[in-house]
Amino acid sequence: MTASGRLRPALALFGAAILCSAAQAADWWQVQPTSMPVHPAAGDEVLQNPPVLSWPNLDSARGYEVRLQSASGEKRWLSPRNAVLPDAPLALGRHRWSVRVAGAAAAPPGAWSEVREFVVTAAAQPFVLPPLDTVWSRVSGLPHPRGQPAGAERAEAVRQALGPRKAETAALRAALKPLLGAAAMREPATSVDRTAMDADKMAQIGEVRNELTLEAERILNLGWLWMVDGDEAWVDEAQRRVLNLAGWNPRGTTGLVGHDQATRSVLLALAVGYDLLHDRLTPPQRSLLLGAIRSRGDDLYQRVVASKSMQRNPNDAWGGFSLNFLVAVAPLVAGDLPEAQAWWMETLPLYAAIYPAWSGDDGGFGNGSHYGLLGVPESLPFWSLLRWSTGIDFMAKPAVRNYERVLAWFFPPGAPVGVLATAPKRQCPPSARAMAGRLRRGSARR
């Protein structure tokens, strides 16, 4: 081989390195292992239409400008967060996108990222959010309760509960009847010192979390039985338990600092209770509940949304699941709690962009079977509350719709439950059945 022949491969590699370096230099962000992913990546055939456009967060940015180009022209969006869900389905075919920082010295105007091309085919499933300001305005004027089915869906739910599912309804009555007049849960007296954790402390934390999760479920179920039976005993008990929780210190032992899982369950129970009991509560009682909801909800919002925590690390499992509470709770108090508007308007677009972060549009789930069975199916109550109150059906999201494949392939009847995490095994089969029942498509029907 001649010297020039030996040189050509080296020059080719050198040229390729220059091209790669130039492409990387055009991306103004610094990728970290936990960064928001660049999506769609170059060459992707997307499964959701429109796809979420996302990129790593830049803390100094006050906003971003996104540019999308196709054969039909160009669209641009300004976004306060590092993810955009376009407001309408995209035309089938090839699209090219790029993004730049708006209004930050770290990226002067014109510093666009690398242009990436993706393809939309007829197989991509639609998922579009309606105009959120319009939805919020409408929900703010709705009567209570909003967190229950209405109209034909309500009539069908009652028919099912008293007919084909009467055995399950009877079992629920039997489970809740001992609660009537029984001692309500006491506020934990002390917080757990987490500086040096041991098995006893972990058990104590878990006991409080589990009991408050069950208490929130009890209040939801008491409201459900009231809808089905019309028996005032059920709603009277719900009111007693909600007012008990409302009297707890929202920044005490079950506050965000004291117990970051407990405060979410209390927040849910209070908001569901406020919505369910609205017309039965006195003005002082409403004020008590709204004050507790404001404190707990705003603490959660500041921690996971306003801080940009989830924009930096969308795979934070605790933070991602916490978004569920904000998007479901806020519409229940819309029009009565001004702070809830910011929670919802800022949280829902982020939530729609990243949740479930450990999944993908194909429905797969990457952080273990326990989390897969709990993180997605246990979001069902939140998605139901969101749909009943706003009409937004989060289960239409391809990542959720396609989750049936996880149930069919990894959790067929008789399959053992995974070993990652410590979720109670009693919850897994009901969660899977509830998810499959709502999907009502493909393998989930079988």
* Closest C-alpha among 366, 383, 430, 436 to residue 407: 436
Residues 166 and 58 in one domain: no
What angle (nearest 5°) sits at the alpha carbon of residue 230, between those of residues 226 and 233? 65
Residue 428 pLDDT level (bands cut at 50, 70, 90): low
Looking at residue 219, which CATH number applies to its domain? 1.50.10.100
CA distance 334 to 139: 7
Q: What is residue 239's predicted lDDT score, i.e. its pLDDT?
A: 98
Distance CA 87, CA 129 (A): 7
Position 423 confidence tier, pLDDT thresholds 50, 70, 90: very low
Question: Distance of alpha carbon 104 from its chain centroid, rounded?
Answer: 29
Average pLDDT of the segment spanning 16-21: 37
How confident is the prediction for the chain on average, in pLDDT?
87
**Residue 244 covered by a domain:** yes
Count other C-beta atoms under 10 Å from residue 187's C-beta: 15
Q: What is the pLDDT of residue 213?
A: 94
Q: Are residues 154 and 275 in the same domain?
A: yes
CB of 354 within 8 A of CB of 310? Answer: yes
Query: What is the mean predicted confidence (pLDDT) over 431-441?
Result: 69
Task: Report yes or no on 59 lying in a domain.
Answer: yes
pLDDT at residue 23 tops 50: no
pLDDT confidence tier of residue 25, bands split at 50, 70 and 90: very low
| Last-in-domain residue among 102, 126, 150 | 126
CATH assignment at residue 111: 2.60.40.10
Give CA–CA dist 403/157, Å, rounded. Answer: 24
Q: In this structure, are 110 and 236 located in the same domain?
A: no
Residue 150 lies in a domain: yes
Say if 147 falls within a structural domain: yes
pLDDT of residue 181: 95
* Domain final residue pick, 355, 384, 401: 355
Whether 205 and 190 map to the same domain: the answer is yes
Find where tokens 């404001």 sit.
294
Residues 111 and 201 in one domain: no
Task: Please check whether residue 31 lies inside any domain of the structure.
Answer: no
Which backbone phi and psi does 372 adopt, to 5 degrees?
-65, -40
Task: Find the domain containing 49 and state its range.
Answer: 45-126
For 300, the token pair is: 């959660």
Q: What is the pLDDT of residue 7?
A: 38
More confident residue, 8 or 263: 263
- Split at pLDDT 50, 70, 90, the class of 2 is very low
Residue 17 lies in a domain: no
Average of pLDDT values for 274-299? Answer: 98
CA distances from 289 to 51, 139, 294, 330 (A): 39, 19, 8, 13
H or E element that contains 326: helix 317-329
86 inside domain: yes
User: Would residue 405 count as lying in a domain?
Assistant: no
The verdict on 146 and 203 lying in the same domain is: yes
60 and 201 within one domain: no
Tell me whether strands 45-49 and 116-126 are parallel, antiparallel or unpaired: parallel
Of 77, 92, 126, the domain-final residue: 126
DSSP element (H, E) containing 162: helix 151-162
Residues 100 and 240 in one domain: no
Indicate if 223 and 190 belong to the same structural domain.
Answer: yes
Tokens of 333: 């108090």
- Assess whether pLDDT exceeds 90 at residue 432: no
Looking at the structure, tell me whether residues 244 and 263 fall in a common domain: yes
Closest by CA to 266, choosing from 239, 291, 295, 245, is 245
- Total domains in the chain come to 2
Distance CA 299, CA 4 (A): 67
pLDDT for the residue 235: 97
Judgement on whether residues 232 and 110 belong to the same structural domain of the protein: no
**pLDDT greater than 50 at residue 261:** yes
251 secondary structure, DSSP code: T
Statement to judge: residues 287 and 256 lie in one domain: yes
pLDDT of residue 394: 95
